[in-house]
Structure 1
Amino acid sequence: MSSDRFKGLVIILDGLGDRPCPELDGNTPLEFAHTPVLDQLAQSNQCGLMDPLLPGLPVDTHTSVGILFGLPPSVASCLCRGPIEAAGIGLDLHVGDLLLRANLATVEKHGPDFHIKDRRAGRIREHVDSLCRALEDINVGADILASLYPATQHRCVLRLQGSHLSAQISDTDPGGKGIDQRILMSRADNNEDEIARRSAAAVNRFTEISHDILSSHPVNKKRIQGNQLPANGIITRGVGVHQNFNNLLAYLNLKVAVIASESTILGLGNLFGFTTITDPAFTALPDTDLDKKLAFAKTALATHDLVYLHIKATDTTAHDRNPQAKAEVINRFDTALGKMVTGKMTSGKINLEDTILGVCADHSTDSYRGEHNGDPVPVLIHNPLGRKDRVNRFNETDCATGALGRLTAQSFLTSVLDAMGCLSNYKAAEMEYYRLTR
């Protein structure tokens, strides 16, 4: 990239947007948090509200981040989570593999049915690899082998290998937040499709076998002795097959890096050919090392044109219905960002005079219900040569008056790329987006 262009850093605070919380005196976690650095950036740049896909439509992380990573919305909305998770953990993917996103869960068996007591087995973190190793190369009939691989915390990837497998099957994860839900048995979307019926039967057989194996596993026996929930069941969703994707950032010949802890984000980066960077200190929880993440971002900017930094803890705390913890994560992020802007990090200062900085979220997560919702998210773009508006604080309410207005995730990305100087041939970029949607 020519030297007259800016580098770009896009920070994605997962699930940042929220609604007023009684525990926070009627404020959102972002409004309640102490954010002098974000507020200063808001005062000297441009802000707005962003709809990840469509106004009022709740979306998943992989859809909105896919768009922020350069996929056309029509393609991103069809992404399947299983292959993304598999790419995120570095699984060696083969043509014909069937890939499903899975949870280690706590279940009880009542007759032929499994009832879920906790969809995340108490957010299990330790010895997940040992549990998954016990579920490798399981014969589930019809010459199909099933294997489970650890991802992030309770999340795993289930891979089925065999001839003629179909992704046209249903989830076994019933979703929702309630307890004592029954695990759904997978079924073919089209009951006349023999391959789909066989694939669904293989998933169901794995559900049964995995419960038998996990129930007697030493890790779970120890967890029960320590009054912890056992991870004795598997629930699945997001089935799909591996495929290659075209991407606007690749078309623009940008060298892109992704810094994250979440296998979904890393998986998208791997699928698109980005450099993916992670570290054991990066977690999906409030204990994630934000200083180290930002230091890695600064280092990556030296060798990449565009760097994405993803922070999951804002979303995790909202799903846990803990707005106070979400506000505290935002506090910590603002402090860490201040160190990077002022040069108090050990890696030194990021030069905002030659860097376009975008701050956004992938979706809103309601801390009251613990679910994604369709509210727009606050965004800002720092451009040393750009305009500024009259927003004084970075939050859902104030950003609604910003000069960026209400834009889509696709428009947010192109606004960042335009500020970087990457869209000088705008007609070619416009035509490439059209081609990618065909």
Structure 2
Amino acid sequence: MTDAALPTTLDAWLARLEAAHPVGIDLGLDRVAEVARRMGLLARPLARRVITVAGTNGKGSTVAMLEALARAHGLSTAAYTSPHLIRYNERLRLDGQEADDGLLIDGFTAVERARLAGEPVSLTYFEVGTLGALWAMAQRSPDLAILEVGLGGRLDAVNVIDPDVAVVTTVAQDHAAFLGTDLEQIGREKAGILRPGRPAVLGSRDLPASVREVADSLGAPVYALGEDFRWDEGLPDPGLPLDNAATALKALELAGVTLEAEACRRALAEVRLPGRMQWLGQWCLDVGHNPHAAGYLAARLAARPCAGRTVALLGMLGDKDADGVMAALIPAVDAWVTASLAGDRARKAEDLAARLDRLGAEVLHCADSPSAGADWLAGRLAPEDRVLVCGSFFTVAEVLPGRLASASPTAQTEGNDMRSEGVS
């Protein structure tokens, strides 16, 4: 195939990638490693230092804080995350800026050339995206590359690159169809990003024993939250989990950065991550979609009570633990609006409502979509009420643009904290 036959727009490329592989998720490194080798990605370092972040929850916020902290210390950065909320371009940031369409297309083209240079290799949407992002990073050779694992760790496409520092944030049940429900086994999969003799940063006090066992078997030095580092009252609150902030600081230090107190304070004060405890007026948007994340959300809401009602707008995929999420949120939520999501993996609003009814929760409305649910709620909120939009990236992605458009300029800058107008 010649380059002339390839798509010329990002949307066309993404449509092509979605249809290119027989299954959407196909764990394993053999195919990815072969194409990476053909692309020269394994022949030289991707960056001066690489930090890879795995975990069930907290990966995105840890990556965002690593990026902000590194830039505050004068380092050039490249960060790869997934999934995206609004635009695919969010997945690759270079020096804090989203990659433009042209760079992403160049990366996809480089992957396509390599996978056809010899025996053709079939790749998934995520695998092509990962290799394309790694190619784009390699063109820049930044001071620090920060890679977020998509699913698991050991067999994830990101793991084709050897990190200088590996981070495991949390281990909980999610993606059961691929990772199972045994936390020890899930921990071993997450710990698959660790490398012999290279630092392993463990960012939770409650990790299964298997994570440390893997580190010990590799001779990887372990730095564990609560043992080797911790956060205290002097750490600025970024509105994101403080465990993740402390983890990011430790990982950056182990990557060879001499931390400066003022630079750290400035970075943590300014870091923002859309869709993670993001307040826009009365609306809080969070992509949490498993019981562990829901428990964190409930605790944050309970810590800052409001004068009115807390209403949850919930939309979830069918392969997620809806009952566990609801049970974790119920103590902090007064009433619910459920929303149907689109696609084969979707769960209907009526199914969510029936589950809530069995738990004794009040369901106000079943909506055909998250945006329809948000519209229904918008005209029925008292000034002292607040809304939690949660349950899926898809739920937040559909509601966020409308909330951004209607939010006041002040609300649009409030980011990931609880200091929003209408929230007491």
TM-score by length of 2: 0.30
Whichever structure has more helix as a proportion of its residues is: 2
Select the structure that is richer in strand: 1
TM value normalised by structure 1: 0.29
Q: Say which structure, 1 or 2, has more relative contact order (CA 8 Å, 6+ apart).
A: 1
